[in-house]
Amino acid sequence: MFAGQGAQVPGMGRDFAEADAEVMSLFDKANAVLGFDLKKICFEGPAEELTRSNICQPAIFVTSYAAFLSLKKRKDVVFDCAAGLSLGEWGALCAAGVLDFDSTLKVLEARGRFMQEACEAAESAMIAIVGASAEQLAELCAKTGCTVANINSSAQQVLSGSKDAVAAAAATARELGIKRALPLATAGAFHSKFMEPARGKLAAVLDEVAFAAPKFPVLSNVTGRPHSGDPGEIRAMMLRQVTETTNWAADVECAKDLGCTTFVEFGPGKVLSGLVKKIDPALNVLNVADLASLEASAAGL
């Protein structure tokens, strides 16, 4: 599992890099590909710069891929499938050989930049909804005009909409008796119609990128099922992902259907690990965010 936007923290990836020259070379390569000092921003911050989408997205990818490489070097583990949340799905595709490291970096810098531009072009926002039934969620969207951006679990969804719509959703949620409605500190309404300009610009970038068939299944945020083996279909699905709902809960259920019982999260934070445990507490969940968690996960596999 590959972490999504919001997991970033200054200092991420530094101990992996300082412990292994090959991992350090990933960050040096990222600097050369991107033309700015991503390594310094990852290792030192400041947090404000790391939060910018065009920096955050490649930064989380490089850190997550460094964690993945570190575990693969530490333990001869074979994964049955891979998944990631939003930008993390690109990390999963890279791990499965669909794109190479350099191409993934370029895509995510452009994706982050285009999404940031879309956020600045229209006032929009996101709000997390906790404890709503399917009926309550549908009524909330119908009354406010918000749309579902993320299905994180059966008990937690995130809505996108205009700032006015999100403000209305917070008030309407209380009226409907929904447990919690928490406005999120995002740049704008990701995975919604507000990202249409970003999707259009990203299409031109992806046309210049070579896609290959995955070496093992990669689960799609859009369908909740494995991507096809057709590179053109994967490219099209990743464009859809920019504006459509990401269904993480479906990805987890699909992995279970494929026989997976152990889930390993790569990258900063433990957001995906927590969501998996909420979906099914019986699953074995590990994470690799630093050297300490790398050793613990290697021992647990």
Catalytic machinery residues: 86, 191
Q: What is the CA angle 86-89-91, rounded to 5?
A: 125
Q: What is the CA angle 98-101-105, rounded to 5?
A: 105
The SS3 call for residue 36 is coil
CA 152 to chain centre: 11
Q: 225: which 2 tokens? A: 């099922």
The SS3 call for residue 28 is helix
Supply φ then ψ for residue 76, to 5 degrees.
Answer: -80, 75
CB 26 within 8 A of CB 82: no
Distance CA 59, CA 41 (A): 8
Closest to 252 measured CA to CA, from 229, 228, 220 = 220
